[in-house]
Structure 1
Amino acid sequence: MSDESIDQHSASSPEPVDSPEGFGYTGGGSWQVMRRLVAHYLRTADRADRLAYPFRSRIDLDADHLPRMSQPEMGDAQAAEQWLVIESANLLSALDWTRQHGSERQLALAAHVLAGFLDMEGYLGTAEPILRRAVAYWRAAGDDAARARALLDLSGVCSHSGDYDGGHAAASEALGLARSLSDSELESESIHHLWIPLWHTGQFVLAQTLQERALYLRKQSGDTLQIARSHNLLGITQLHLGRDHEALDLFEQALLGFAEASDNRGRYRLVQEGHRGG
């Protein structure tokens, strides 16, 4: 994180909010400035992540406890993704600073906020050990809902790095927690993540059965984007089972859903998503 960034925020940022569990700190000096700057990046990255990757299952950041600073303009997913890429060096620095100086809770929250960015931009080696620490923290804290979502973050990173056993194990554990919590949104997203290693290892029939369950749950919620995601993965599965007509119908439904949800990422990567692995 550049000295210029620190100087700019030191001179222009409002007084921080004092919070024992957040990133806000009172007092002066470079240590406090650094913590405020890290908090600013965490809050802004959370906002960008929600625009860029609206499909993720979220842990509440409790951002009201973070210091408020001026936020960059981000009107849509493309602008949010652009901000994440431009600020990637500072985001990585903020994560590393939190790893060295923050509490385990702060690191777990930062890891979750940045998990989508780290995964999509290929920082898999950076993400995995920090996400494992996050899972361990939420387990020790007794927060099963947060642990399940941290497991989903870990599952995605493992699967995309080629560790399909690790991806399967993390998603399966998340699925068990989701069902014990009777959380249908979390259950459907756990199945979505479980589909990835199943597809990569050729377990198409099981992948189809599970994804049909996810589609059923998502139809109950009426979430157009999530329904489209399930249609897409079911289409990919049918394609690899040799059912071309069924696959085409599902892809058409997915395309319509992505368009209705104004999700250009989903539209343009409708088939590519399957080749990448979810």
Structure 2
Amino acid sequence: MTSAAQVRPLLLGTAGCLALITSRRRLADLDAAQILSLDVLPPEDAVALFGRVASAARAAAEPEAVAAVLELCGFLPLAIRIAAARLRTRPAWTVRHLADRLRHDRHALAELTTGDRSVAAAFTLSYQHLPPEQQRLFRLLGLHPGPSFDGHAAASLAAVDLRDAEVLLEGLVDVHLLQQPTPGRYRFHDLLRRHARDTATAAEPEGRQRDALRRLVDFYLHTATAADRLLHPHRPHLPPDPPVPDCLPYPMSTYPAALAWFDTEHACLLAAQRMAVTHEWHQAVWRLAWTLNTFHHRRGHSHDRLAVWRAGLAAAEHLPDPTIHACVHRLLGYAYADLGRHGEAIEHLDRSLAVADDQRDPTSRAYALRVLAWAWQQRGDDRRALEHITHALAVYRTLDNPVWEGDALNEVGWCAARLGEYDRAREHCQAALALHRRHQHRSGEAADLDSLGYIAHHSGDHHQAVHYYQQALARNRDLGDTNQVVNTLDGMGHPYAALGRHDDARAVWREALELYRAQRRAAAVERVLRELDSLDQHPT
């Protein structure tokens, strides 16, 4: 059945009569019906179906391979039945061999055919009943490189307005060609995604596919640029070229909305950059790395940051602008330093500084010196770090930007504190805090308070240290800056321990441990485990 109108004449009006109706389409307008949408099979039922069709003994002999086959079939009953039937008719095959064949993306749907049964044919039947505009959107969505998407992305991809895109998407949900895991968010079943992509390749000329993907990449780039401005308004503004026609970036106006958008779209943004690399859209490649940088820093995505900046460097080599080269080498150097790859970090940062000096660009020079200072500090050379950040501060003071000057003041204070120069450190960090508060730079203020907590603890004022750390922690939590949250928690444990507040120290270090593990910061994990071990002698 395809509509409620087909069903109504068949229903008996007498009490006690039941009718079971099946349909590819959701029959939402059928009054008094109990609607049950069938999902994919649960894992245990999928294993049972596979074993019943293929052979229980063969399935039991290779449980891990069976799990892989079921995953590749997306737990769809028809796909599982066909895959198992193919295995049953090929005694020389192992389940692992079948899984390997299904992993070949281009041929997976062809593998899921036996006799007159075909997963692709079942999908095609649903597709053929769609109106033309819905068929087109279905095809184009198959080109989307990310795991899920919303109406804004679909509108740019298909060059339609947002309302039309949402109506078309809901129609695809109604006929079970799309899933809706959360309101306003859509995704394909894996096999349906392959079918949609194959259909697009067959039906859409290459030029139209490329145009659609360019609109999509521009959608992510321009929306991310606007979101990044909300996350870090004091960052240098590097606006990209205008979006291509029919690209509709998503407008945002608040910090929480911007952070939530990045969290939701992170995988799609990474996929969009890879798509831009494939199509040699070099400006988009490096600019996507730029727009992701603040988010990657605040959420502790160090490995992703390195990956996008490596792609950014490869793209920048095709661009003539030396300012871009200085920027890319600097931020790639930062990414390497953050992961402890100090030699590569210093190499890229020295190149960034050299380009800035060749161009007589004081802003790029100041930034390069500042990141070099941080890289040397990460490497353990605090004296050299202090020299570099002191030079950076002198340059920043010529640029008439008090926020940037405040950043450098705090970092001079931090490096001085690590060298035991606590009076000098306190003076610089308090000056930084005053500038950042005056200019409402919240992340800078949090960093200053964290530094002052470190200084107070190492000066013996543990109560004041806890007070500073608590303020820093509150601001970092408010910003969603999990990268700095974990650093502040880590630091806070020390004055708690010094005050004999071992339960408090244990609590903050345990939270820090979980965050460090989530951020894959192995050295920090080992260090915090040692701190926790040192508290074991104290009763809870």
Report if TM-score (shorter chain) is over 0.5.
yes
Question: Runs of at least 4 residues of structure 1 off by over 6 A?
Answer: none
Q: Does 1:100 align with 2:249?
A: no
Change (3 A) 1:136 1:73: closer
Give CA-to-partner distance per residue, 1:227-254, whole Å, 9 cap, x none. 1100110110110111111111111111
Tell me the amino acid that sits aligned with residue 268 of structure 1. A
Of 179, 202, 205, which residue of structure 1 is paired with 2:380? 202
1:45 positional shift: 0.7
1:91 positional shift: 1.8
In 2: Cα distance, 1:100 partner to 1:140 partner: 14
Aligned to 2:250: 71
Q: Does 1:12 align with 2:161?
A: yes
Aligned to 2:396: 218
Contact kept, 8 Å, 2:219 with 2:247, in 1: the verdict is yes
In 2: Cα distance, 1:218 partner to 1:67 partner: 41
Paired residue secondary structure (2:230) = helix
1:84 positional shift: 1.8
Change (3 A) 1:246 1:135: same
Contact kept, 8 Å, 2:215 with 2:247, in 1: the verdict is no
1:57 positional shift: 4.9
Contact kept, 8 Å, 1:40 with 1:66, in 2: the verdict is no
Aligned to 1:147: 325
Change (3 A) 1:66 1:198: farther
In 2: Cα distance, 1:203 partner to 1:114 partner: 29
Question: Highest CA radius of gyration, 1 or 2?
Answer: 2
Q: Does 1:159 align with 2:337?
A: yes
User: 1:19-168 to 2 correspondence within 5 Å?
Assistant: 31-57=210-236, 59-63=238-242, 69-75=248-254, 77-168=255-346
Tell me the amino acid that sits aligned with residue 34 of structure 1. L
Tell me the amino acid that sits aligned with residue 71 of structure 1. Y
Contact kept, 8 Å, 1:39 with 1:67, in 2: the verdict is no
Contact kept, 8 Å, 2:409 with 2:429, in 1: the verdict is yes
In 1: Cα distance, 2:382 partner to 2:268 partner: 41
Paired residue secondary structure (1:242) = coil
Q: Percent identity?
A: 20
1:3 positional shift: 5.5
**C-alpha RMSD of matched pairs (Å):** 2.8
Which sections of structure 1, spanning at least 5 residues, go unmatched?
Answer: 15-26
Paired residue secondary structure (1:63) = coil
Give CA-to-partner distance per residue, 1:10-54, whole Å, 9 cap, x none. 33169xxxxxxxxxxxx9955533321221110111122233234
Q: How many residues align?
A: 262
What's the TM-score once normalised by structure 1's chain length? Answer: 0.82
User: 1:162-181 to 2 correspondence within 5 Å?
Assistant: 162-181=340-359
In 1: Cα distance, 2:306 partner to 2:207 partner: 34
Q: Does 1:188 align with 2:366?
A: yes
Structure scoring higher RCO (CA < 8 A, sep ≥ 6) equals 1
1:55 positional shift: 5.0
Tell me the amino acid that sits aligned with residue 207 of structure 1. A
Q: Which moved more, 1:244-253 or 1:162-171?
A: 162-171
Contact kept, 8 Å, 2:216 with 2:247, in 1: the verdict is no
In 1: Cα distance, 2:311 partner to 2:231 partner: 25
Contact kept, 8 Å, 1:228 with 1:254, in 2: the verdict is yes
Contact kept, 8 Å, 1:228 with 1:253, in 2: the verdict is yes
In 1: Cα distance, 2:363 partner to 2:271 partner: 32
Q: Does 1:264 align with 2:442?
A: yes
Q: Which moved more, 1:130-139 or 1:158-167?
A: 130-139
In 2: Cα distance, 1:239 partner to 1:51 partner: 32
In 1: Cα distance, 2:387 partner to 2:398 partner: 17
1:100 positional shift: 2.7
Change (3 A) 1:188 1:109: same
In 2: Cα distance, 1:170 partner to 1:126 partner: 18
Contact kept, 8 Å, 2:410 with 2:429, in 1: the verdict is yes
